[in-house]
């Protein structure tokens, strides 16, 4: 499903970036306790996820929906990110 949605994205001509600032998009907000969005997503999408006392995922298995690769080191092998770069989304917001 993700690949189909990705393939349906329209590519538009460049727009001005007036007013864009990465600072307008906080990185990871706290969801509850010490768990931020990244940790909640890692726990949701992984198998056998183990979290430390600060809610950080320290073990588990994650499978990429794009290429089927398996990751076991969340701090270095797993990215939780958006599908469209923020700057592109900002430019197309009109």
How high is the mean pLDDT of the chain? 86
Does any domain span residue 57?
yes
The whole domain housing 45 covers: 2-6+29-91
**Phi then psi for 87, rounded to 5 degrees?**
-60, -40
pLDDT at 41: 94
What span, in angstroms and rounded, lies between the C-alpha atoms of 27 and 6? Answer: 23
Does any domain span residue 11?
no
Does any domain span residue 22?
no
pLDDT at 85: 78
In the chain, the number of structural domains is: 1
What span, in angstroms and rounded, lies between the C-alpha atoms of 45 and 88? Answer: 26
93 pLDDT above the threshold of 80:
no
1 pLDDT above the threshold of 60:
no
Does any domain span residue 19?
no
At residue 79 the predicted structure's pLDDT band, cuts being 50, 70 and 90, is: confident
**Per residue in 46-78, pLDDT tens?**
999 999 999 999 999 999 988 899 999 998 898
What span, in angstroms and rounded, lies between the C-alpha atoms of 94 and 90? Answer: 8
Contacting residues for 85 by C-beta, under 8 A, at least 6 apart: none
């Amino acid at each position: 499903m993700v690949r189909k949605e990705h393939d349906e994205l329209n590519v538009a001509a460049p727009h001005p970036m007036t007013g864009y600032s990465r600072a307008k998009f906080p990185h990871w907000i706290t969801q509850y306790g010490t768990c931020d969005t990244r940790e909640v997503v890692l726990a949701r999408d992984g198998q056998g996820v183990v979290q430390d006392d600060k809610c950080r995922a320290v073990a588990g298995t994650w499978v990429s929906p794009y290429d089927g690769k398996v990751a076991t080191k969340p701090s270095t092998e797993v990215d939780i990110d958006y599908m469209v770069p923020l700057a592109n989304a900002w430019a197309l917001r009109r």
